[in-house]
Amino acid sequence: MPREPGPADLAFVGGSVVTMDAARRTATAVAVRDGRVVAVGMDRDVAELVGPRTRRIPLAGRTLMPAFQDAHVHPSMAGVGLIQCPLHDVARTVDAYLGVIRAYADGHPDAAWIVGDGWYMEAFPDGTPSKTDLDRAVPDRPAFFVNRDGHGAWVNSRALEVAGITRGTPDPAHGRIERDAHGEPAGTLHEGAMEAFRRLVPPPTEEDRVRGLELAQAYLHRLGVSAWQDAWVTPIDLEAYRRLAERGRLTARAIACLWWDRERGSEQIDELVDQRAIGSIGRLRATTVKIMQDGVAENYTAAMLEPYLGHDGRRTDNRGLSFVEPEALKRHVTRLDRLGFQVHFHALGDRAVREALDAVEAARIVNGPSDGRHHLAHLQVVDPSDVARFRPLGAVANIQPLWACHDPQMVDLTLPFLAPERARLQYPFGSLHRAGALLAGGSDWTVSTPNVLAEVDVAVTRESVEDVRAEPFLPGEALAPIDAFAAFTIGSAYVNHLDDISGSIEVGKLADLVVLDRDILDRGAGRIRDGRVLLTLVEGEPVHEDAALEVGRG
């Protein structure tokens, strides 16, 4: 295969090279010079490029792939969470959460608020925690904990008091205050009901945000991620990215999704244009606008074509929430598309998916074709008639595979409340792929792990990575391993407008690469989820290296 003369800086030989090029070719060796791929082929094609100063890395049966790209992730939020009181990795029980919170509060006696995130709904009856439980851990100060998906919060009595939320406080237009049998606020806030607290909680400093972002970046690099789309970037988050880039420490390629304020209208577009102008520095680009069109199924705020079921199994009159009025959404997306923005939709319920596709279609009719590469994230429920619309509209399906399994949240908090005929339409990755939709992969970290190997494992098996006894979930919607990996490499590179320089291993492209500890496509090598990242390169420079990489070095 093509190669250029002269010694290479790096040479990978003797392994499985998954190129992710258009033909999905494989190879055994790759050479890198000056941060770019200069040869791809068999060992003999690379041998003459190995000089005395070339670092030669025998793959010894391991896999070299394009580095992963995450098309929907929250490093800004995750980083701040890492320096507060994170609950993501805590055992999913009330007592375990309270123990960690109590210890954090005791260790931070001067903190005016106790703040954290990451609790799982499945740990609480009906998915709604109680203020009285949190009062036991933090009785003297307000406490505010956002759940793992960012669509609800757990607060204590002191926090409700500070916010002035009482029995007489009405639910906001785009949210709900959970109440007890007596009508009193119970301690759980859904969607827009959290906003009062976001204004009260002391914000992290700029340096906190920069430090947290760098911690998040290091974590993602350890998992083989070299580029991402940050799906919720406020002006202060963008400033943290800028500071990191200015200091030469933004090693990842980051696309910042500028946040669309659903309480406002088109008047904010000029502000987004200004943010885009200042948000391009180094490896940072602020070229995308994030519109959250609905909520989540677990708290009945995902926008559905058919109503949710109640606890008695009967249909209710609740079809969830469309956060942006559909006709207004068409106008906004049409204007954003005309201005050269990409639109990144949160569209989880089938009605939200349809509304987002309708908006993309409206933009196409008015503006004609564009290179916006607009994409819809989550796609939990998709009506079959809309599956076929993605490809002709040029809309990308941004999938989060880890959720497509029989985990407790699905079993206890979703399936009982969706009519069976709609429940069978969940996470239709296979159907979208067969219909020609381009798939991009995202984790939604910190909602779920950014470990691409775990995500691909679920996309392929439709089995829980945590409960090995659970049956596969709608296995007809599974993806082949190569197609699942494509979503997290060339698919996400396409969404990120980086496919011309990354996302596949081809001569001339940047050496954004990852080494895995096994032949990852060999079914005899064990579960994909059990693999490990040994090396992550950005432009040929290591941003993560495991000592085990040197095992088998020649």
pLDDT at 84 over 80: yes
- At 400, give phi and psi (nearest 5°): -120, 85
- Cα distances (Å, whole numbers) of residue 66 to 5, 11, 430, 441, 536: 23, 15, 23, 14, 9
Per-residue pLDDT tens over the stretch 433-457: 999 999 999 999 988 899 999 999 9
Q: What is the structure's pLDDT at 365? A: 98
Q: At what angle do helices 75-82 and 235-246 cross, to 10 degrees?
A: 80
Q: What is the structure's pLDDT at 5? A: 62
Transcribe 216-267 into DSSP letters.
HHHHHHHTTEEEEEEEEE-HHHHHHHHHHHHTT---SEEEEEEEP-TTS-GG
Q: What is the structure's pLDDT at 410? A: 95
Answer positive or negative: Cα dihedral of 284, 259, 232, 84.
positive
What is the dihedral angle through the alpha carbons of 402, 404, 405, 410, rounded to the nearest 10 degrees? 100
Does an H or E element contain 278, and which?
A: helix 269-278
Closest CA to 351 of 408, 305, 412, 383: 305
- At 344, give phi and psi (nearest 5°): -115, 110
Contact 361, 402 (CB under 8 A): no
Residue with tokens 């009508």, as numbered in its chain: 183
Per-residue pLDDT tens over the stretch 226-256: 999 999 999 999 999 999 999 999 999 999 9
Residue with tokens 């319920």, as numbered in its chain: 349
The CATH number of the domain covering residues in 84-200: 3.10.310.70
Least confident range from 27-31, 51-55, 60-64, 126-130: namely: 126-130
pLDDT at 4 over 60: no
Contact 135, 187 (CB under 8 A): no
- At 13, give phi and psi (nearest 5°): -140, 160
Closest CA to 395 of 440, 330, 443: 440
Most confident of 78-92, 197-211, 518-532: 518-532
Q: What is the structure's pLDDT at 469? A: 86
Contact 101, 114 (CB under 8 A): yes
Q: What is the structure's pLDDT at 141? A: 95
Contact 306, 419 (CB under 8 A): yes
Contact 49, 43 (CB under 8 A): no
Token pair belonging to 44: 């003999």
Percent of the chain with pLDDT over 70: 98
Region 27-45: mean pLDDT is 97
Per-residue pLDDT tens over the stretch 129-144: 999 999 999 999 999 9
Per-residue pLDDT tens over the stretch 459-493: 999 999 888 789 999 999 999 999 999 999 999 99
Token pair belonging to 195: 């906003």
Query: How far, in whole angstroms, is CA 20 from its chain's centroid?
Result: 21
Q: What is the structure's pLDDT at 195? A: 84
- At 140, give phi and psi (nearest 5°): -110, -15
Per-residue pLDDT tens over the stretch 307-351: 999 999 999 999 999 999 999 999 999 999 999 999 999 999 999
| d(C-alpha 514, C-alpha 67), whole Å | 5
Q: What is the structure's pLDDT at 428? A: 98
pLDDT at 359 over 70: yes
| d(C-alpha 9, C-alpha 20), whole Å | 22
Per-residue pLDDT tens over the stretch 386-429: 999 999 999 999 999 999 999 988 999 999 999 999 999 999 99
Closest CA to 236 of 258, 254, 251: 258
Region 20-31: mean pLDDT is 97
Token pair belonging to 225: 């991620």
Domain spans of the chain, in order of start: 10-67+505-550, 84-200, 206-495
Per-residue pLDDT tens over the stretch 249-280: 999 999 999 999 999 999 999 999 999 999 99
pLDDT at 553 over 70: no
Q: What is the pTM of this model?
A: 0.87
Contact 151, 193 (CB under 8 A): no
Percent of the chain with pLDDT over 90: 88
Residue with tokens 């970046």, as numbered in its chain: 217
At residue 551 the predicted structure's pLDDT band, cuts being 50, 70 and 90, is low
Contact 62, 93 (CB under 8 A): no
At residue 554 the predicted structure's pLDDT band, cuts being 50, 70 and 90, is very low
Per-residue pLDDT tens over the stretch 500-516: 999 999 999 999 999 99
Per-residue pLDDT tens over the stretch 511-531: 999 999 999 999 889 999 999
| d(C-alpha 223, C-alpha 407), whole Å | 23
Region 168-197: mean pLDDT is 91
pLDDT at 303 over 90: yes
What integer best gives the mean pLDDT of the chain?
95
DSSP letter at 505 equals -
| d(C-alpha 136, C-alpha 273), whole Å | 47
**What class, spelled out in words, does domain 206-495 have in CATH?**
alpha beta
Q: What is the structure's pLDDT at 174? A: 82
We find that the CATH architecture of domain 10-67+505-550 is Roll (2.30)
At residue 89 the predicted structure's pLDDT band, cuts being 50, 70 and 90, is confident
